[in-house]
Structure 1
Amino acid sequence: MTGASISEQLEDVESAVESGRKKIDWARQHMSIVESLREDFEADQPLAGETVAMAMHVEATTAVLTEALAAAGAEVAITGCNPLSTHDDVSAALDAHENITSYAKRGVDDEAYYDAMHSVIDHDPTITVDDGADLVFLVHEEYPELIDSIIGGCEETTTGVHRLRAMDDDGALEYPMFAVNDTPMKRLFDNVHGTGEASMVAIELTTNLSIAGKTVVVGGYGQCGKGVAKKASGMNADVIVTEIDPRQALEAHMEGFEVTTMDEAARDGDIFVTTTGNRDVITEQHFEVMQDGVLLANAGHFDVEINLEHLESMAEEVVEARDGVTGYVMPDGRQLNVLAEGRLVNLAAPKAEGHPVEVMDQSFGIQAVAAREMATNGDQYDAGVHEIPDRLDREVAEIKLDAEGIEIDELTPEQREYMDSWQHGT
C-alpha cells in the first residue's frame, strides 16, 4: 500500500472512533432512505464479492452510505476528495469497521492526498464511487490495467460530471459512469437546498457575522447558485447574480434577483460566493475594486474559482484574521477575507458540517442504488457517462415519501391510456 490507514495515523484511535461513531449514529437516525436500502442490502447482498473504491467528503452522512455498501457485501476502501473536508473521527470510525479501510485525513498536503488515493486504488476496485472525478481520472491515468476489471462507477457532483463528460467526449472514459449529480433526486434537492443552506450557515459560523442587510454576490446561477441566492435572500440579504449563460441569467432576473457582470458586482458586494465549477470567476481586476472587509467564499468543488495567486501577489500582508478566515491586506489598507482557503466553504470551513443530513440522505440513496445497479446490471452499460435510470430515481423518491408518511395519487387505467395515446384530441 502507498499510505497508512487513518487508524495508523492517529494517536488516540479509541477516542476518535467513539466520537466518530456518535456522529454516524446521529446521521443514521435521520437518513431513512439509506437505512431502508441498507436493510434490503443486508438481506440480498447485491455487492457480494465486489470491492468499492470511494473518494468522497468523509463525514457522517458519507459514512452511513459507506457502511450501507459494506452491509451489501462489499469490501470498501475510502479516502477524501478534498484536503479540508474530512472529519478525522468519522474516518477512524469507518476504519474500525471490519470491511472498510479509510485513508482519509483532514489537512493533508497534495502529496499525502494523492498517496491516500493511490492506497484506495491498490485495493483493486471493481466499482468506483467518486466526488469530483479525481479517483476516476487517476485510475485511467496510472492504473489502466485495472479498467477491464472495473464494472463501472458513480459520480456525485457537478464538477465531476463535467470532467467525465469531457473525458467521454474525447473518447478517454473507458468504463461506464453514472452521473448521479444530474438526476432529479440529487439535482433538485442536494444542489439547491443542500449547497444553499450549508454554504450560508458555514459563512455565518466561520465569521460570526450577519447575512441580513448585506449584499451577497452569487457567481453562477446553476442549481447550486440558485440555492445560494434563494437562501441568502431568505436571510434578508440583497442578492446580485453574475452569469455567462443568457438563459440562466434571464431566469435569475425573472426570479427577482439583480443580474450584472462580476466587474460591476465586485464594487458592491459584501459577501461573494462562487458556484460555477469553473476557474477564475473572481480575479485581480475584481480584487482591485472590492470594499474593505469583504468575505470571499467558494461553494464549487475545487479551489480555483477565486484566484488566490492573484490575491496573494497583490497583498502587502497575509494574516489569519480568524479561524478559517485568511485576511489579505492590500497596499491601500483594505482587507479582503477568504474563507476556508478558497475551498468549498460548506465542508472545508472549520465548523462546517456539510449539507443537512436529510438532503444527503436523498443523494446517497441515489449513490447506493446506482452502485447496486452497476453490480447487478453493469454489463448493460457501455463505457461512457450514463444518466441514472428513471426507475432508480423514482425508487428513492418513493422510499422517502413512505418514510415521511406522504401518500400521492396514482393514475387510473383510463388516465394512463389517455396519456399513452396520440389519438385523443379535441
Structure 2
Amino acid sequence: MATVRGDVKDLSLAGVGKQRIQWAERDMPVLRAIRERFEAEQPLKGKRMSACLHVTAETANLARTLKAGGADLLLCASNPLSTQDDVAASLVQDYGIPTYAIKGEDENSYYRHITAALRHAPHVTMDDGADLVSAMIFIVLDRMDDVHAEVRKWAETLKPDERKSLVANVAASMEETTTGVIRLRAMEKDGVLKLPVIAVNDAQTKHFFDNRYGTGQSTIDGVIRATDTLIAGRRAVVCGYGWCGKGVASRARGMGANVIVTEIDPIRALEAAMDGFLVMPIAEAAKVGDLFITVTGNIHVIRAEHFAVMRDGAMICNSGHFNVELALDDLAEISVSQKKGVREFVDEYVLKNGNRLYVLGEGRVINLAAAHGHPASVMDMSFAAQALATEWSVKHKGKLEHKVHQVPKQVDEFVAKLKLETMGISIDTLTAEQDKYLRSWEMGT
C-alpha cells in the first residue's frame, strides 16, 4: 500500500487496532449493510470529506463505510483525549485513510490536525463538537483573532476567494453532538452559518439510544476504569437531565447509587423527580455528593463555591463534549496543592480545610478519556444515520438552506427498521382499515 499521510502515535500499533476495528464491526450490522451498498453504488465518488471525530474503533467503521462509498476521506480528532492510538495507526496503515490524531496531544497539535482537515478542501464535513466548522466560519468571516494560531498561520496565506471557497464548496456538514448542535444553532441565529448542517445528533435513532444508553453505560465505565471504585451506596450527582443525563442517572441507579439530579429546566427537573430521583440545586448537592458527573453542554456548571463545600474524597468528572463544564481554574485557585496523576486519569486537589477532591480525565469527556466510549451496537445506529445523511446531503447539494436541518424522517425510520431486523425483532403493520382510519376525520365515537 502506498504511504498515506497522517500523524499518529505509532504505526506499529496497527495490528491491535485492526483487531479492535474488526471486533466492533461484528456488532455494527446496520453500518455494514450500508457499506456493502455504498461499495456497489459509490454515492460519494469524487467527494473530498474531512471528519473531526472521536477516533475510536466504531468511528473507524464509519470511516471505512465512507471510503467504500467513494469518498476521499481525511480524519482528525475532535478531542485531545478521545483517540485510540492503535485504531488511528490501523486506519493509516491497513485502510489507507489519512488520520491526524494522537491521544494526549497538546493544543497546538490538536489545531494543527484541524488545519490538515481544512487544507483537504472538503466537499462534506463531519464534526463532533463543531470545532472544524467553527474554524471555517471564523476564517470566512476574517475573524482571525478568534482562530487558533496553528490554524491562523495557514489561513492567512489564503486569498479572499480561497477563504470563501472553504464553505462555498461544502454540500453540508454533519454534526454528531448536542454541544455542537447548540453552537451551530447559535451561528444560525447570529446569521453567520455559511453552509447547511445536518443535526445527526437530533435523529431519533441517535439521541434516544446513543445519548441515553451509550453515554449512560460508557460514562459509568469511564468512572470505574479511572477509579476502580464501587458505585453502589455512593451518592452520585448527575448535573443535567437531557438524554445523556437520563442515561447516566439510570445506569448509576442500576449499579446501586443514590442518585441526585440537578437541573435548570423545570420540565426536566419534574421528569427526574417523577422518575424517582432526588432533585436539588447544585449548591445543595455539592455538600452531600460522593461522585459528580456533568452532562449539560454548558460552561462552569460546578464552580469554586461548589468545590469549596464538597466532602473529602469527592470524585468529579464531565461527560459533556467540551472540558468547560468544570471550572478547574477555580478549583486550582482554592486548592493548597495539586497532584497530577495520583492514578491514571485521576488528579488530586487538596483544599484549605484538608479535603481532597479528585478530578477524573482532566475534566474531559470521561467515557473516552478513561474508557473506550460507546458500545459498538449503539454506535451502529448513530453512524448509519451519519453515513445516510451524508449521502442525502450530497444528492441535495445546492438545494439546502444555510441552516441546521433535521435528519430526513425516512433515514431515521430506515435505520430503525434495519436495526430491528438485525436483532431478530418483527413488528406489526397497519391494516388497510387502520391506515384509512388514521388518514380520515369523519369517524368519531
Same fold (TM over 0.5): yes
Q: Once structures 1 and 2 are overlaid, which stretch shifts more, 336-345 or 416-425?
A: 416-425
- Distance in 2 (alpha carbons) for counterparts of 1:423 and 1:99: 61
Q: Once structures 1 and 2 are overlaid, which stretch shifts more, 97-106 or 108-117?
A: 97-106
- Distance in 2 (alpha carbons) for counterparts of 1:47 and 1:94: 19
Residue 83 (structure 1) aligns with: 80
Residue 222 (structure 1) aligns with: 242
- Distance in 2 (alpha carbons) for counterparts of 1:169 and 1:346: 31
Q: How does 1:314-333 map to 2 (within 5 A)?
A: 314-319=334-339, 320-333=341-354
1:207 aligns with 2:227: yes
- Distance in 2 (alpha carbons) for counterparts of 1:43 and 1:423: 48
**Percentage identity across aligned positions?**
45
Shift of 1:377: 2.3
3-state SS of paired residue (2:404):
strand
Residue 268 (structure 2) aligns with: 248
Shift of 1:276: 0.2
Shift of 1:317: 0.9
Shift of 1:179: 0.6
3-state SS of paired residue (2:309):
coil
What is the TM-score with the length of structure 1 in the denominator? 0.96
1:132 aligns with 2:151: no
Alignment partner of 2:257 out of 237, 246, 264? 237
1:364 aligns with 2:383: yes
Residue 394 (structure 2) aligns with: 375
Q: How does 1:13-32 map to 2 (within 5 A)?
A: 13=11, 15-32=12-29
Q: Deviations over 1:316-366 (max 9, x none)?
A: 1111221110000112211100000000100012xx000111011111111
Residue 423 (structure 1) aligns with: 442
Shift of 1:378: 2.8
Structure 2 unmatched ranges of 5 or more: 140-162
- Distance in 1 (alpha carbons) for counterparts of 2:33 and 2:396: 21
Instruction: Provide the aligned C-alpha RMSD in A.
Output: 1.2
1:93 aligns with 2:90: yes
- Distance in 2 (alpha carbons) for counterparts of 1:235 and 1:5: 44
3-state SS of paired residue (2:98):
strand
1:346 aligns with 2:367: yes
1:61 aligns with 2:58: yes
Alignment partner of 2:206 out of 173, 186, 199? 186
Q: Deviations over 1:17-55 (max 9, x none)?
A: 111111101101110111010001001100001011100
Contact 2:64–2:95 (CA<8 Å) still a contact in 1?
no
Contact 2:18–2:94 (CA<8 Å) still a contact in 1?
no
Q: How does 1:147-162 map to 2 (within 5 A)?
A: 147-162=167-182
- Distance in 2 (alpha carbons) for counterparts of 1:45 and 1:26: 25
Distance 1:69 1:165, change over 3 A: same
Shift of 1:164: 0.5
Q: Deviations over 1:260-297 (max 9, x none)?
A: 00000000100000000001110000011100000001
Contact 2:315–2:359 (CA<8 Å) still a contact in 1?
yes
Runs of 4+ in 1 over 6 A off after TM superposition: none
Shift of 1:404: 1.2
Alignment partner of 1:283 out of 291, 294, 303? 303
Q: Once structures 1 and 2 are overlaid, which stretch shifts more, 258-267 or 91-100?
A: 91-100
Q: How does 1:8-47 map to 2 (within 5 A)?
A: 10=9, 12-13=10-11, 15-47=12-44
